[in-house]
Amino acid sequence: MTPVMRIITSRSIARPFLIAAGVFLSRGVPALDFSTIDWQLHGFASQGFTYTTSNQVFGASRGGSLDFTEVGVNGSVRLLPNLLFSVQGLYRNAGGSDREDFRLDFAQVDYNATLFDSALTLGVRAGRVKIPFGLYNDTRDVVWTRPSVILPQSIYFDTLGLRQAMIAADGGLLYSRYNWGNHRFNLEFMVADPQDDTGDATEFLTGIPDAPGMMEGRPLFLGRAVYEWMGGRARAMFSVVDLDRDFRSDTATVPSGNIQALYPLFSLQYNEERWSLTAEYGWVASQRSGFTPVPLESTSEGFYVQGEYRLNEDWSAVLRYDVFHADRDDRSGRSLAEQTGQARHRFYARDLAVGVRWEFVRNWLVAAEYHNVDGTAWLSPHDNSDLLQGGGDPHWDLFSVMLSFRF
């Protein structure tokens, strides 16, 4: 047991706080029983090193970049068996792709009720909540919960501005879980205000560099349906995000407009003792109106197939093929290149990745991977200013190592 866990489980530090909390709460909630309160503190710290043969990922990676740091600390208090408060602070640096530094990742309250002999659970979660999208989105900043240092970029954009709007949102979600023998069904529905004024999300959504103005309008809708067999031995999932936002420009030279996007995602996973197979397929159908005389419509697509193999408890390996097309009706990028004057490789990316991870001491891991990439579609324009001037290398390699500790 680590010292931190010993402190947490023995609750020696907790006692004065709990007494204070108990005294405070006992005024309003006289029946609150003290012995029912549980709390935990957890966190992680990860440092990455990225090297690319050409193009830049997470800082100036052509010469080797250390601009990939993820540090988070969270606390959860269970006041009643079915009432949980939790908060997480996050520091993240990813070169030009993420310049937000410290942020409040989530701050939420979760309440649920179980019915029919605990077979059905109905719950509500509110505050700043993580966006439950696909297999990895809600904990994607923690290398321990993702299969590789760099997630499949066709689905989980990490270098593009849209990332900020996909991580967490302010609002609430309703969820239900139903168990029937070895089958488990899970439904979530979320209504929340996305953080699309943060980072480069506004710029990404409007397509206007340094877009001067505010995003507003209808909150995002999200739905996710999950089916699990045998505690997750097999898992099938459908998630969908529906975004309808207005950009209100601050200046007369830049027009205001509306952005609509629908992002459905299908996910499949099968887990055996030694290996796991995972695949996800999704597309973003978007429409921008008001910025140009004629509304711009496009539908991108992304998918990957991934295999993980566990050599033993400490070592595992991952192999993945990940594809992104900016327009699924123009997979070669030829007509987009003609329309925009940009290079063809800006509109697709095919990434073959192989990696290993090693948990060398309990709660410490090192993960290393190699990517062979054809195309530059998901590269950050902030780290690659030459891309907008027709530069960039369509064939490139990426090497990444990450060291992480958690408690």
Partner 1 sequence: MFRSTGILHRLIRCWWVGSLLSLAFAIGIGCAGKSVLAAEPGPKIYTANGRADSLSAETLREIFFMRLTSWPDGTPIRVFVLPDKHPLHVRFSKEILGVYPFQLRAAWDRLVFSGTGLTPHVVETVDEMLERVQVTPGGIGYVNK
Structure-token pair, residue 75: 């606390």
Asked if 81 is part of the footprint of partner 1 (rule: CB under 8 A), the reply reads yes
According to the binding rule CB under 8 A, does residue 298 interact with partner 1? no
CB of 158 to partner 1, least distance (A): 16
User: Least CB distance from residue 298 to partner 1, whole Å?
Assistant: 16
Which residue type, as a one-letter code, is found at position 193? D
Residue of 313, 341, 361, 389 interacting with partner 1 (CB under 8 A): 313
Strands, E assignment, 154-313: 168-180, 183-194, 213-216, 220-229, 234-249, 257-271, 275-289, 296-310
- CA 74 to chain CA centroid, Å, is 17
Contact between 350 and partner 1 by CB under 8 A: the answer reads: yes
Q: Is 332 among the residues that bind partner 1 (CB under 8 A)?
A: yes
Does 272 sit near partner 1 (CB under 8 A)?
yes
Which residue among 69, 207, 331, 405 contacts partner 1 (CB under 8 A)?
331
Nearer to partner 1, 210 or 313 (CB): 313
**Residue 19, exposed/middle/buried by CB under 10 A (0-12, 13-18, 19+)?**
exposed
- Report the chain's terminal Cα–Cα distance, integer Å: 10
Question: Which are the contacts of 187, defined by CB distance < 8 A and separation ≥ 6?
Answer: 175, 176, 223, 224, 225, 226
Q: Which of 103, 125, 163, 357 binds partner 1 (CB under 8 A)?
A: 125
Specify which residues 217 forms β-bridges with.
Answer: none
Query: Shortest approach of partner 1 to residue 8 CB, angstroms?
Result: 8
Smallest CA-to-CA distance from 318 within 153, 69, 152 is with 152
Say how far residue 140 (Cα) sits from the centre of its chain.
4
Select 62 or 78, whichever has its Cβ closest to partner 1: 78
CA 222/CA 141 separation, integer angstroms? 20
Binding residues for partner 1, how many (CB under 8 A)? 60
Q: Kindly state the DSSP code that residue 312 receives in the 8-state scheme.
A: S
- CA atoms 172, 83, 267, 159: torsion sign: positive
Nearer to partner 1, 350 or 382 (CB): 350
Nearest CB to partner 1, comparing residues 44 and 157 = 44
Q: Looking at beta carbons only, is 37 or 57 nearer to partner 1?
A: 37
Per the CB < 8 A criterion, the answer to whether 114 and 121 are in contact is yes
Does residue 344 belong to the site contacting partner 1 (CB under 8 A)?
no
Least CB distance to partner 1 at residue 214 (A): 28
Q: Does 339 bind partner 1 (CB under 8 A)?
A: no
**How distant, in Å, are the alpha carbons of 9, 25, 41, 83, 92 from that of 19?**
17, 10, 18, 19, 35
User: Could you say which DSSP state residue 65 is in?
Assistant: B
Which of 326, 319, 254 minimizes the C-alpha distance to 291? Answer: 254
**Residues 36-55 contacting partner 1, CB under 8 A:** 36, 38, 40, 42, 44
Site string for partner 1, 169-208 (x = CB under 8 A): --------x-x-xx--------------------------
> What is the rounded CA–CA span in Å between residue 139 and residue 83?
21
Q: Which is nearer to partner 1, 34 or 388 (CB)?
A: 34
Region of 22-30, 34-42, 336-344, 397-405 interacting with partner 1 (CB under 8 A): 34-42
Q: What does DSSP say about strands 275-289 and 296-310: parallel, antiparallel, or unpaired?
A: antiparallel
Interface with partner 1 (CB under 8 A): 1, 5, 9, 35-36, 38, 40, 42, 44, 72, 74, 76, 78, 80-82, 84, 86-88, 106, 108, 110, 114, 118, 121, 125, 130, 132, 138-139, 141-142, 144-145, 177, 179, 181-182, 230-233, 270-273, 275, 277, 279, 303, 305, 310, 313, 321, 323, 331-332, 350, 362
